A and B are shown apart, each in its own frame.
Chain A
Amino acid sequence: MPAARADEADGEWRMPARDYASTRFSPLAEITAANVRQLKEAWSFTTGVQAGHEAAPIFAGGLLYVVTPYPNHVFALDTAGKQRWKYDPKPQPSSQGVACCDVVNRGAVYDGGRLYFNTLDGNSIALDARTGKELWRTKLGKIELGETITMAPLVVKGKVLVGNSGAELGVRGWLVALDAKTGKPLWRAYSTGPDKEVLIGAGFKPFYGAERGQDLGVKSWPPEAWKIGGGTVWGWISYDPQLNLIYYGTGNPGPWNPEQRPGDNKWTAGLFARDVDTGQARWFYQFSPHDLHDYDAINENVLVDLPIGGATRKLLVRPERNGYVYVIDRASGEVISATPFVHITTSTGVDLKSGRLQYNPKTQPKPGRVVRDICPASPGAKDWQPAAWSPRTGLLYIPHQNLCQDAGTYETSYIAGTPYVGAEVRMKPGPGGHRGEFSAWDPVAAQKRWSVKENFPVWSGALATAGGVVFYGTMDGVFKALDANSGEVLWSFRTSSGIIGQPVSYRGADGKQYIAVLSGVGGWAGTIVSGEIDARDGSAALGFVNAMRDLPKYTVKGGMLHVFALP
């Protein structure tokens, strides 16, 4: 297994996923299933920002770093919670109007004494982590075209990897590698268009036939449609140092209305493996060819080596928006298994011969008609909220939704800087009536081991620890610790606002293990609270409001960092 760069005993948390394999597993074991009931809040810190706080706190060099949603303030705090410095990047206010799903930011990354993060208005910035002094700033996106940046960058071999957001506004997706020293772009790989711009060359060896051919990023679209075709890169990147490959997914094609873009719409809603030095694509796999329901494929890719079929294989485990947990050979791109982890009506399975998702024609959108009971709904079985992997239990802990929807599609026109969607959606709870779930998944047996039902979608990240405890938060503001083996809730704490952030764990200056998480409800699911949406209109916030009408009765907005430790 590709371990973290630092040694296992390291008490730091330098990137949102903690390591290149994206495990979100802390090797610290002071907090255990036996003593977690005594966990107390050590201190808290108010960010002063009201939008949804999706970021992971970063701990490195004795300081804790937090980046807020727009206006993207960065705070450095010492281990007692005292502010060391604050940085204000002053992003353009108009960027708020082109962020599809709240003005979130998913975190910063620490590397070599520097802190790297992105702003909503499309800048990538490097700071001196000690002083907060700006070292470079590179403008990457055009908000006039609807381009924003919400993702957390990843730093690999002196390159800062950054992707854009905005597929709901007809933005053309890309991933760019910047020189970590200077901020200068080294290569840029688009998600649509000619091979030359997608960085597809002689080294491109996809496993399945559907991905082979010249300029599929042009030919699998109506003329010119690839230029406004989405496939933005707003999620997670993993890296395998042995194979020297990065793995990341591409977002939904634009517009949502599939009638306007016949074809497979390469290279949207799929997974790229690329050589990190050159950006050249090695393989691609499309989870949702010709996506019908806004099934972005930007979720986390957990890199693990596991025994499958008698031999240990280099795998990529991926809980996907379309409702399946994929186990993929990360060297070749072969899908080994794809198993449903939620109720699915949009497809009947994945054909392992062709790799192709088998759509159910009954839930295919048709213009001028309302198609009912589309499961999972547009945010998918699981959206951006990252799962955690514990090598101790061999389980993947998946925070996710249980939502279905009714949808109608209509023809929409492209007006630069405005939404390019063409669909009206009304979401509702899935079977059972609960809207969220936290599931422990065994990727070898390809089955769910246990799960906890939640009233609201579980929109926070997950954290696994060597102490046999896993953590997540709920949208009504309860932070929970569970027994990693049984799923029993061992401890909970009520925070000031709903939790959609990513919990982390670190070792403080006093040698103790700390757990940190941001509260501050919002995001697509919580925008009814953070964006003050009128609950009478169920189609509001791209249809999510219909499923979240009661959230304002449970929580208020406002960001706060909570830090916990044993007494």
Chain B
Amino acid sequence: MRKITLAPLFGLVMLAGCEREQRQFEIPPAQAQFAKPLHAANERNAYALSQGKTLFKWFNCAGCHSNGGGGMGPALMDDHWRYGNNAEDIYASIMEGRPNGMPSFRGKLNEDQAWQLVAYVRSMSGWARQDAAPGRDDSMYPGKPENMRDQRN
């Protein structure tokens, strides 16, 4: 009796043991499945946007793009985008670099930081929520802050 009840359980254990190891031959784009909602949340999140703004200075983005006006790199506060202003485009610009001089920051930033930067970069031209975008500046930039540059409506 005992032998009969144990047999199917034993079989189940054996079967599980036979399951083949899964191999990933294709590496999916980084966190693609939840990048979009994560990014959408960042653009509504004052903390993420202000982190993005801090990283923008710490990682020398400001060295080339200034406070959005540009210099060694193109302006980011205007409506002209060489490589597109979708979140994914900006993410790719930051992580992979671009051929005309934008360096790759992969390995320097983690993905969360990169998405925070993406949200902040979009806020520079008014593509983040006004009640979440930074409202003041530690720099000498005298113009309108990011939360006054609304482009979304």
Interface of A toward B, CB cutoff 8 Å? 93-101, 168, 370, 406, 408, 410, 412-413, 415, 417-421, 424, 426, 527, 531-542, 545
Contacts and interface: CB of A to CB of B under 8 A. Distances in A.
Given A95-B101, A537-B143, A420 B60 contact: yes
Nearest to A541: B71
Nearest to A370: B140
Interface stretch (B73-81, B110-118, B128-136): B73-81
B33 interface: no
B81 to A, nearest CB: 12
Given A531-B70, A539-B139, A542-B71, 9 more contacts: A93-B100, A97-B73, A418-B60, A426-B140, A533-B70, A535-B69, A537-B143, A539-B69, A540-B66
Contacts of B60: 412-413, 415, 418-420
B87 interface: no
B100 A96 contact: yes
Contact of B69 (A93, A421, A545): A545
Nearest to B139: A424
Main secondary structure of the interface of A (DSSP, over half): loop
Contact of A532 (B66, B75, B99, B142): B75
Nearest to A143: B101
B95 interface: no
Interface string B6-32: 000000000000000000000000000
The CB with the most chain B CB atoms within 10 A, among A94, A413, A415, A540, is that of: A540
B101 to A, nearest CB: 2
B75 A408 contact: no
B69 A537 contact: yes
A527 B140 CA distance: 20
Contacts, number: 112
A539 B67 CA distance: 7
A419 B139 contact: no
Interface in B29-62: 57-60
Contact of A527 (B67, B68, B71): B71
B141 A539 contact: yes
A94 B102 CA distance: 7
A246 to B, nearest CB: 30
25 contacts: A93-B100, A93-B101, A94-B100, A98-B72, A98-B101, A100-B72, A413-B60, A418-B59, A418-B103, A419-B60, A419-B63, A420-B63, A421-B63, A426-B140, A527-B71, A534-B75, A537-B141, A538-B143, A539-B66, A539-B140, A540-B67, A540-B68, A541-B66, A541-B69, A545-B71
Q: Which 6 A-B pairs have the closest CB atoms?
A: A97-B101, A537-B69, A419-B63, A540-B69, A534-B75, A418-B60
B64 interface: yes
B63 A533 contact: no
A536 B69 contact: yes
B77 A537 contact: yes
B77 A418 contact: no
Contacts of B63: 168, 412, 418-421
A537 B145 CA distance: 11
B108 interface: yes
Contact of A97 (B100, B139, B141, B143): B100
B101 A537 contact: no
Interface in B123-153: 139-144
A94 B72 CA distance: 12
B64 A537 contact: no
Contacts of B68: 534, 536-537, 540
A532 B80 contact: yes
A417 B103 contact: yes
Nearest to B72: A100
A533 B75 contact: yes
A536 B140 CA distance: 12
A408 B57 CA distance: 14
A351 to B, nearest CB: 33
A537 B140 contact: no
Nearest to B66: A540
B72 to A, nearest CB: 6
A408 B70 contact: no
Contacts of B141: 537-539
B69 A534 contact: yes
A213 B59 CA distance: 37
B74 A419 contact: no
Contacts of A97: 64, 72-73, 100-103
B140 A540 contact: no
Nearest to A538: B142
B75 A540 contact: yes
A95 B101 CA distance: 6
B111 to A, nearest CB: 18
A540 B71 contact: yes
A405 B57 CA distance: 21
Nearest to A410: B57
Contacts of A415: 59-60, 108
Nearest to B103: A417
**Which of A96, A413, A418, A531 is the most central at the interface, judged by chain B CB atoms within 10 Å of its CB?**
A418
Contact of A99 (B72, B74, B99): B72
B77 to A, nearest CB: 5
A51 B44 CA distance: 39
A98 B71 CA distance: 11
B14 to A, nearest CB: 55
Contacts of A412: 60, 63
A68 to B, nearest CB: 17
A388 B47 CA distance: 56
Contacts of A408: 139-140
Given A97-B101, A419-B60, A421-B63, A534 B72 contact: no
